Amino acid sequence: MSRKLEVSLAQMDLTPLAPADNGERLVGIATAEAKAGAGLIVFPELCNTGYVEPLAPGGGFPSGCASHTEYAKRLYAAAADRDDALIQALSAVADHYDSHIVVGLALRSATRSGVLYNASLLLGPGGIHSCYAKTHLWHNEKLYFTPGRSMPVSDIHTARLGMQICYDIRFPEITRCLALQGAEVVTNVWASFRGADDPIEDEGLFRHRAFTRAQENGVFFLSCNRVGRQGDMQFMGRSLVARPDGRILAALDHEKEGVLRATLDLDEVVAYRMSTGILNDRRPELYGTLAENDLLV
**Interval 160-173: pLDDT, tens:** 999 999 999 999 99
Which domain, by its residues, includes 188? Answer: 4-282
pLDDT for 295 = 56
Q: Where residue 18 sits, what CATH number does that domain have?
A: 3.60.110.10
Task: Kindly state whether residue 294 falls inside one of the protein's structural domains.
Answer: no
Task: Kindly state whether residue 290 falls inside one of the protein's structural domains.
Answer: no
Residue 129 pLDDT > 80, yes or no? yes
Residue 297 pLDDT > 70, yes or no? no
Task: Kindly state whether residue 291 falls inside one of the protein's structural domains.
Answer: no
pLDDT for 292 = 75
Q: What is the pTM of this model?
A: 0.96
Task: Kindly state whether residue 26 falls inside one of the protein's structural domains.
Answer: yes
**Interval 181-239: pLDDT, tens:** 999 999 999 999 999 999 988 989 999 999 999 999 999 999 999 999 999 999 999 99
Residue 23 pLDDT > 70, yes or no? yes
Task: Kindly state whether residue 297 falls inside one of the protein's structural domains.
Answer: no
Residue 82 pLDDT class (50, 70, 90 cuts): very high
* Secondary structure class of 284 (helix, strand, coil): helix
Task: Kindly state whether residue 200 falls inside one of the protein's structural domains.
Answer: yes
Task: Kindly state whether residue 296 falls inside one of the protein's structural domains.
Answer: no
pLDDT for 13 = 98
Task: Kindly state whether residue 248 falls inside one of the protein's structural domains.
Answer: yes
DSSP 10-74: EE----TT-HHHHHHHHHHHHHHHHHTT-SEEE--TTTTT-S-SSSSTT---TT--SSHHHHHHH
Domain count, the chain: 1
Residue 1 pLDDT class (50, 70, 90 cuts): low
- Percent of the chain, pLDDT > 90? 92
